[in-house]
Structure 1
Amino acid sequence: MERLVVWVRRRRWTVDLPLYAVFLFLAPNWTGEVSWPVRAIPMLFLLPLLVRRRFPRAVAVLILAGALVTYTNEIWAYDRGRAELSMAVVLFTLVQRGDRRFAALTAGAILALDVTWGFSWGPQTQNPTLNVVGIIPIHFAAWALGEFFRAKQQLTVEEEKRAEAQSRAAIAEERTRIARELHDVLAHSMSVIVLNAEGAKLARHRDPEAVGRTLDTIGRTGRDALAELRRLLEVLHAGQAARSPQPTTAELRGLVEQCGRAVALEVTGDPGGLPASAALQAYRIVQEALTNMIKHAPADATGRVEVAFEPAKIRIEVTNTGGQSPPAPALPSSGRGLAGMRQRVEMYHGDLVAGPLPDGGYRVRASLVVAS
């Protein structure tokens, strides 16, 4: 059935076939003893209807001219059915296409033709007034149908535009999400790798064993980053189905250990009923806060991560001290860290507060609402 609908939509002329059948088989009402070719001439006046969709105004003029010829000829004058129906069709077409001004002119011409017919041939009928006035509702119906189908067509176009806009918005949102994920993965992992590489370079002569442990951390961090990048690439190629598994709060301890700093972790509450998407946002917020600590805090700064799972909310707080040693050389920053955390918090109608502490440290406090 869908294939048939699509086929008909591509070949609109097929919809007119029943209409042509009505014109062809409509009962004739001709006068006089004339040959069939002469009687069939009015049918030629209807041929422009075949192209009424491509040239609505031209077809309307031709149909009105044909009706004028018909109504001024004694042989064809009483064959009003075809003429009135054809004029109603062109009036419908003009209104449907939104050409109301020309449609109004056409309606005026139709009324003039009907009045002309009424003065010329109406007195010879049994009820001349009814013959003239009774045909007008057909044209009112044609106008009303034209307005109806135009409104329906506009509604369809608006729905298609709305669907297209929603599709573009979804694509933009997905791109933003992937960009945020890439930033979180790369910023954290590269910061850990650079920090440990600098530390290994300083300790290579006095503590070779520490160098070995540091290189292990660098290798593990690099492999983890590659795994997450591979997962993001799978999302790009496979879409929604490739989004799991995602990092969860169970991996927070590994994240804290990976950063190479003295960071305490405290998790309270039961995360068992936590939505997977909320778990991912909590993980990413902690990851970004630790990344900022690695980038900007002195080497001897310590940190603390607190995550509390409450019945309707997740509370996250990541702090670090100011430390005593001078800060390490600043690592490149994209400037998207806080903006990304704010976007994640807004997704769950939560709050985010981030800023320096009196001792020179820094604190990030966030909340995610996971239940109404």
Structure 2
Amino acid sequence: MERLVVWMRRHRWTVDLPLYAVFVFLAPNWVGQGSWTVRAIPMVFLLPLLVRRRFPRTVALLILAGTLVAYTNEIWAYDRGRAELGMAVVLFTLVQRGDRRSAALTAAAILALDALWGFSWGPSTQNPTLTIVAIVPLHIAAWALGEFFRAKGQLTAEEEKRDEAQTRAAVAEERTRIARELHDVLAHSISVIVLNAEGAKLARHRDPAAVDRTLDTIVHTGRDALAELRRLLEVLHAGQAARTPQPTLAELRDLVDQSGRDVTLDVTGDPGTLPASAALQAYRIVQEALTNMIKHAPSDATGRVGITFEPPEVRIEVTNTGGHSPPAPALPSSGRGLAGMRQRVEMYHGELTTGSLPGGGYRVSASLVVSP
């Protein structure tokens, strides 16, 4: 059925088939002498209606000219129904296309032709005035119907534009989400890998066992990063169905251990009551805060991750001390970390505060408001 509708939209002339049938089978009202072929000539005058959508103005002129010829000939003049219906169709077409100027001129010409018919052939009827006025509602209806279909077409076009805009917005939002996820995954993992590699390089002579532990951390971090990237690629290729599983708060212990720093984890409340989407945002906020610590805090700085579940709110706090060793060489930064955290917090109508601590170090505090 849908294919049939699409095909008919591409071949609009098929919609007019019932109309053409009316023209063909409408009872003729011919008078005077002449062969059947001569009397059927008005049917030829109506043939331009077949291309009225492609050439509306030209077809309107041809129909009006044909009607003028018919109304000035005694044989065809009384076959008025076909002529008036043809003029109504071209009037409807012009109005529907928004060509109101041509439609107004056509309407004026129709009134003039109806007056010509009334003065020429009306006296032979019982009530010539009524026969002239009675046809006017047909053309008023044609104009009104044209306006209706034009407004409907405009509304459909606006809806299509709105749908297209919503689709573009959804695509942009999805790209932003994926970019944010890539940033969180890569920034954290690469920072851990680089800093651990530098630490292993420094410790290779005085503590070979530490080098092995550090290399194990690098291996695990790299494998986890690859798994996250595969998951995101599956989202790109397979869509919504491939978005699970995502990291959960149950994996926070692995995330903290992966950082390679002395970081404690305190969880208060039941994280199982948190929706999966909110749990993912909380996980990413902690991940980004730890990434900033790895990038900017001295190597001997200690940290703390605290998460409190008090429905309908989740409070997250990540802090680190100032440390005493010289800071590690600065790693490249995209500048999107804090902006990404702020966007995640805004999704759940929470608050985000960041800043340096009085005794040195840094603090990230965030809250997510989860509807019950």
User: How far off its partner does 1:55 sit?
Assistant: 0.3
Distance in 2 between residues matched to 1:271 and 1:205, nearest whole Å: 44
Q: Does residue 193 of structure 2 align to residue 196 of structure 1?
A: no
Q: Summarize the alignment of residues 3-152 of structure 1 with structure 2, pairs less than 5 Å apart.
A: 3-152=3-152
Question: Deviation string for 1:209-243 (max 9, x for gaps)?
Answer: 11111110010000000000110111111010110
| RMSD across aligned positions (CA) | 0.9
Aligned partner of 1:270 in structure 2 is 270
Equivalences for 1:303-318 in 2 at 5 Å?
303-318=303-318
Q: Counterparts of 2:10 and 2:170 in 1: how far apart (Å)?
A: 30
Matched residue type, 1:358 = P
After TM superposition, the runs of 4+ consecutive aligned structure 1 residues lying more than 4 A away are none
Q: Aligned residue for 2:233?
A: 233
**Cα displacement (A) at 1:6:** 1.7
Query: 1:105, 1:273 → 2: CA distance?
Result: 72
Q: How many angstroms apart in 2 are the aligned matches of 1:323 and 1:346?
A: 32
Q: Cα offset for 1:9?
A: 1.4
SS at match of 2:301: coil
Q: Which amino acid in structure 2 is aligned with residue 164 of structure 1?
A: E
Q: Deviations over 1:117-170 (max 9, x none)?
A: 111111111111110000000001001111111111111111111111111111
Q: Which moved more, 1:148-157 or 1:222-231?
A: 148-157
What is the percent sequence identity of the aligned residues?
84
Cα distance, 1:100 vs structure 2: 1.1
Deviation at 1:360, TM superposition (A): 2.1
Partner of 1:364: 364
- Give 1:350's aligned residue: 350
State the distance in 2 between where 1:27 and 1:234 align: 67
Aligned to 1:223: 223
Deviation at 1:3, TM superposition (A): 2.1
Letter in 1 for 2:298: P
Counterpart in 1 of 2:155?
Answer: 155
- Cα separation, 2, equivalents of 1:37 and 1:162: 54
Alignment gaps of 5+ in structure 1: none
- Letter of the 2:221 counterpart: T
Distance 2:6 2:39 in 1: 39
Unaligned runs of 5+ in 2: none
Distance of 1:97 and 1:360 partners within structure 2:
72
- CA apart distance, 1:319: 0.8
Q: Partners of 1:321 and 1:156 in 2: how far apart?
A: 61
Superposition deviation, residue 328 in structure 1: 1.0
Partner of 1:322: 322
What is the distance in 2 between the residues matched to 1:285 and 1:206? 36
2:72 maps to amino acid: T
Distance 1:286 1:272 in 2: 17
For 2:158 and 2:273, locate their aligned partners in 1 and report how far apart those are by CA, in whole Å: 41
Q: How many residues align?
A: 372
The one-letter code of the counterpart of 2:93 is T
